[in-house]
Structure 1
């Protein structure tokens, strides 16, 4: 029970890494606010947690909207009394280079992937009155470049360095801030990438597995890394970028 009696927010909690992490957090003792723009998915994740004996509430929200971010945090404190953990996981991708991406798509990626981290931290940090842990989802492509993913690479690099700045600013308040940086993980977003690139899933999946461990990651494997960073097991870790990618970046 690594998060016993803790209260956590997971954004992008309807599917993939977010859903796996919300379920794991609850299994480890946390009360969880599952936030996502996908109302049905957020409700489903929360229902699965409650059915297993955990505590969870869903919130339908657009994390690029300031009022919605404030409402997510208020739901946590009003429902469960405190806030200890924030997992900024919501994200999108548009697979295109500088000539192929539209200005509107660029702005959307930056709003969902970067602005949301700022907004959620802006509202969550004052609520972490007894300290806490923030984990932001970066990417291997936040630490190195990738093809046909300009806006995504830029956004995730921003998340990684924003994480470091947040860690410096709020360490004295007892708040640790780290990023988890997955490689290709078998999630709905990975399949969406194949669709955007008009590639067959079998070929795309084989390319994703081209790393030393010979396979893509699973959402549960990333969730366990997030749990580590959110728990007291990582009590002396802040400002770090933890790579979880089967050796791909190496």
Structure 2
């Protein structure tokens, strides 16, 4: 089950964290992996790891916020069976502490970046007569998170875009879903804590872990497992759905 043999998967932000976990798992399941990533060293390291395990893949240096660069990469790949829109950045601040530059920065990567990849991938999927798209949303698309105004805006847009694409391309056999993780323990989280709370890192890590009712953060491999299911043929009856993977955050924090 869940074989991706002979499938071509494009994963944005696949050089670390959740994207890396998805790239490695999809490769183990037989997919040829194409990572789109600004950090080319990190992306190449993941591709090296994939190839050392007898998998296939390639890294592409591109800024997802630049449409022509994205279109060029997708056209060079030529055929896309799976797109995982994972690239994203964060911002801490409420409305009053979100400058226009902050909002533009988040929008350009998280929203426009996903749109650019959809814009490039969907025509290729239409030509092939099928495709599976998975967009990375967040619990912030569903509930209020303190001091995450711009980030929440962007993830709400991801959720809405996912539903729109799912509806518009039913006749083209293109499925589109999204995942809404709670906090996941990645190098990004460790860096965020070290930067913003250098004097009480252990305390903040414990606090963030306990904000999930299950009592811990998620692991990248757990997100990757759900991504694999949703992008596999076993999920061929699933489209237009957002899947919270959140340790009970949305429904049990009361």
TM-score band by shorter chain is: over 0.9
Q: Which residue of 2 aligns with 1:123?
A: 120
**Alignment of 1:89 onto 2:90:** no
Following TM superposition, where does structure 1 have runs of at least 4 consecutive aligned residues deviating by more than 2 angstroms? 191-201
Q: What residue is the counterpart of 2:209 in the other structure?
A: 209
Match of 1:134 in 2: 133
Conserved 8 A contact 1:139-1:181: yes
Q: How much does 1:203 deviate?
A: 1.9
Q: What residue in structure 2 maps to residue 28 of structure 1?
A: 29
Gaps of 5+ in 1: none
Q: What's the TM-score, normalizing by structure 2?
A: 0.93
**How many residue pairs align between the two structures?**
246
**CA-to-partner distance for each residue in 1:100-120, whole Å, 9 max, x for gaps?**
222111101011100011110
The yes-or-no answer on 1:246 pairing with 2:243 is: no
- What displacement does 1:209 show? 1.6
Distance 2:243 2:66 in 1: 28
Does the 8 A contact of 1:95 with 1:193 survive in 2?
A: no
Superposed CA offset, 1:124-150 (max 9, x none): 011112201000000011111101110
State TM-score, norm by structure 1.
Answer: 0.95
Instruction: Using the TM superposition, give the Cα deviation of residue 195 of structure 1 relative to its aligned residue in structure 2, in angstroms.
Output: 4.3
Computed over aligned residues only, the root mean square deviation of the Cα atoms, in angstroms, reads 1.3
Deviation string, structure 1 residues 8-64 (Cα, Å, up to 9, x no partner):
000000000001100111000100101111010111111110111000000011001
Matched, 1:232 2:229: no
Residues of 1 paired with 2:243 and 2:195: CA distance?
A: 28
Worse-superposed segment, 13-22 or 93-102: 93-102
* Shift in Å, 1:196: 5.4
Partner Cα distance (2:109, 2:220) in 1: 20
Aligned to 1:167: 166
Q: What corresponds to 1:72 in structure 2?
A: 73
State the shift of 1:76 in Å: 2.1
